[in-house]
Amino acid sequence: MPFTLLKSDEKKSSLEPWRILIVDDEIDIHTVTKMALKRFELEERGLEFLSAFNSSEAKKILEENDDIALIFLDVVMETDDAGLKVAKWLREEKKNVFTRIILRTGQPGQAPEEEVIMNYDINDYKQKTELDRTKLFTSVVTALRAYRDLMKIDQSMTYERAYRRGLQQVIESTTDLLEKKTLKHFFNGLLQQVVSLIHVDQEGALIKTVEGAGTICYANDYQIIAECGDISSKNSLDPKAIELLDKARRIKGSVYEDDHYVAYFPSKSDQENLLYLKGSQIKQLTDINIQLLNLFSNSIGIAFDNLLLNEEIIKTQEDLINRLGNAVESRSKEAGNHIKRMSEFCYILGRELNLSDSDCEILKQATPMHDVGKISTPDSILLKPGRLTDEEMVIMKQHAQIGFDILSGSERPILNAAAIIAQQHHEKYDGTGYPAGLKGDDIHIFARIVAVADVFDALIHKRCYKEPWALEDILKLLKEETNKHFDPQVVSALINRLDDIIEINNKLTKSDGL
């Protein structure tokens, strides 16, 4: 027989009812229980009953509903211990410690009370003959209060953990806000703190308007800079969100409507930033929650101004580095997009070698400067199509130390890394490289990575002094030079990620029109 559903009162309440599951193979027990509790109400919440007539139906309902507060559970149904097995399954397999279980039996001899209480995690044991209306009422009140308190404790712990995670992200991110990924990490941590602060769990996003966005905005006029919940998977905003974001921007204030909340962050610049939250729990936000959100909105504007200004500085720094790198490469007539490919190759290799996110990003940004010292190399040597003489080679090799001299002395991590790479990327793993004859791990890992990426890109593309090599010939050379010119771990990393590197190479080469 399928389960039935019955609400305890026709009166509608703004609060969700307590959900009670009755599991018993006698239909009269279901009817009597519902009648006895028909007008029951606790904390302005009525009851909603679900019914199952055997253990299989009970398990199905419990699988599909994770908010059942109380189960009235018969012991003897299709077997003498069917109810006990359901209780054991719920606690041990489903790991549900919140739902209260009142075991009921009409045959106490089948399941002695002391034995059941000791061996099964139930909350009360009653004979069916004991449960008159008064005792039933008392048992339900006690069970629901216990369920309520357990859920509050669990929710507090959940939000405390979420708050701590968000705070940890913010603390970690503020140690170095010069990296784009760290900035993203900061915003995600900030958003996590907001949702945990007001004790809600729904989808949300921190948003900024894109340059040129008009008074009326559309989806592509907004950029999501941090997200949680379903927005993470959709990576988009629905029409209602756009409508409310637009309204918040017009009034330059917060908008609170049904299950949507938009907070507007005051800004001293033209950049507009907003917080968007969506979920059924929005309707249950208290006045204190709303005040906290409004206070957050008023206080966070200046932080957004500073952080997004910092992001603009980062982009400007990256652009300047790339432009200077391109200027050097164009002078030496290197293949187009050489430094872009180098940066991407090095980032991939850094990830494969388990460098930290920060180190991978620094490596990627610093790589374009690896040959900056060539600005001092005469054209007659730099552009010579044939083999260099010994004297010319001495002059060419000077670019490594010159690059270091140009870039060293800065307090910026990217420029420090660029100086090391410029100086060491022609060192060889066996100590026969230049300018210092460094060997093995004495060569910085950044330089060891750049050495492999530089040779790979140089060989796979045409240069003024050579035609491109076949891929199999390049791999053969890399393997032959392992432990000589190249760090074996870096060569292995390149081979492991060869498909990704070839994909990047093809994409950036195609954009050159080559």
pLDDT tens for each residue of 188-201: 666 666 665 555 55
CATH number for the domain harbouring residue 278:
3.30.450.40
pLDDT tens-digit series, residues 140-159: 998 898 888 888 766 655 54
> For residue 399, what are its two tokens?
């670019």
Confidence tier at 495 by pLDDT (50, 70, 90): very high
Pair 130, 188 in one domain? no
pLDDT at 8: 42
Which range, 69-73, 103-107, 280-284, has the best average confidence (pLDDT)?
69-73
- In this structure, the answer to whether residues 297 and 344 fall within a common structural domain is no
Mean pLDDT of all residues in 462-481: 87
How many domains does the chain fold into? Answer: 3
Task: Name the residue range of residue 36's domain.
Answer: 5-151
Mean pLDDT of 6-33: 76
Q: Does the structure show a pLDDT above 60 at 336?
A: no
Average pLDDT for 213-217 = 41
- Higher pLDDT, residue 158 or 506: 506
Statement: residue 243 has pLDDT above 80: yes
293 and 339 inside one domain:
no
Last residue of a domain, one of 151, 166, 198: 151
pLDDT band of 397, cuts 50, 70, 90: very high
Q: Cis before residue 488, ω within 30 degrees of 0? A: no
Shared domain check, 505 and 412:
yes
For residue 502 the two structure tokens come to 């070839």
For residue 260, list its beta bridge partners: 257, 278
Of the candidates 374, 383, 370, the one whose C-alpha atom is nearest the C-alpha of residue 452 is 370
Residue 18: the pLDDT is 93
- CATH code: domain of residue 103: 3.40.50.2300
Residue 316 included in any domain = no
Do 282 and 407 share a domain, yes or no?
A: no
Residues 221, 283 within the same domain: yes
Calpha distance 112→395 (Å, rounded): 96
Q: Is 374 a catalytic residue?
A: yes
Alpha carbon distance 492, 58 (integer Å) = 55
Tally Cβ neighbours within 10 Å of residue 32. Answer: 16
pLDDT, average across residues 345-351: 96
Q: Is residue 362 part of a domain?
A: yes
314 domain residue, yes or no: no
Q: Please give the average per-residue pLDDT across 319-325, as a whole number.
A: 59
CA distance linking residue 62 with residue 9, whole number of Å: 23
Residues 280 and 347 in one domain: no
pLDDT at 300: 59
List the Cα angle 263/267/272 in 5-degree steps. 60
> Per the domain annotation, does 253 fall within a domain?
yes
For residue 224, tell me if it sits in a domain.
yes
Q: Residue 137: how many CA atoms within 13 Å on its side-chain side?
A: 11
**Domain annotation covers residue 313:** no
Averaging pLDDT over each range in 173-182, 237-246, 271-280, which range is the top one? 237-246
| Cβ neighbours of residue 254 closer than 8 Å, sequence gap 6 or more | 248, 261, 262, 263, 264, 293, 294, 297
Long-range pairs for 242-251: beta carbons < 8 A, 24 or more residues apart: 242/217, 242/218, 244/276, 245/207, 245/217, 245/274, 245/276, 246/216, 246/217, 248/274, 249/209, 249/215, 249/217, 249/274, 250/215
Q: What is the CATH number of the domain that holds 358?
A: 1.10.3210.10
Question: Does the residue 233 lie in any domain?
Answer: yes
Measuring CA to CA, how many Å separate 355 from each of 318, 361, 369, 426, 493? 21, 10, 20, 21, 12
Say yes or no: 259 and 134 in one domain. Answer: no
- The verdict on 213 and 139 lying in the same domain is no
Higher-confidence position of 227 and 489: 489
Instruction: Find residue 73's DSSP bridge partners.
Output: 23, 103
Q: How is 193-221 classified by DSSP, letter by letter? A: HHHHHTT--SEEEEEEEPTT--SS--GGG
- The per-residue pLDDT for 47 is 93
**Percent of the chain with pLDDT strictly greater than 90:** 29
Answer yes or no: do 280 and 218 share one domain. yes
Phi and psi angles of residue 270, each rounded to the nearest 5 degrees, phi first: -75, -15
Per-residue model confidence (pLDDT) at position 449: 97
Query: Predicted confidence band at 261 (pLDDT cuts at 50, 70, 90)?
Result: confident
Q: What average pLDDT score do residues 433-438 get?
A: 95
Identify the active-site residue in 34, 208, 374, 428.
374
Q: 91-100, 289-298, 312-321: which range is least confident on average?
A: 312-321
Q: What is the pLDDT of residue 434?
A: 94
Residue 318 in any domain: the answer is no
Residues 352 and 299 in one domain: no
Q: Are residues 348 and 422 both part of a single domain?
A: yes
Does the pLDDT at position 283 exceed 70?
Answer: no
With CA atoms as reference, report the closest residue to 61 among 123, 100, 4. Answer: 4
pLDDT digits (tens, 9 = 90+) for 42-92: 888 899 999 999 999 999 999 999 899 999 999 889 988 898 899 999 998
Report the pLDDT value the prediction gives residue 502, as an integer from 0 to 100.
94
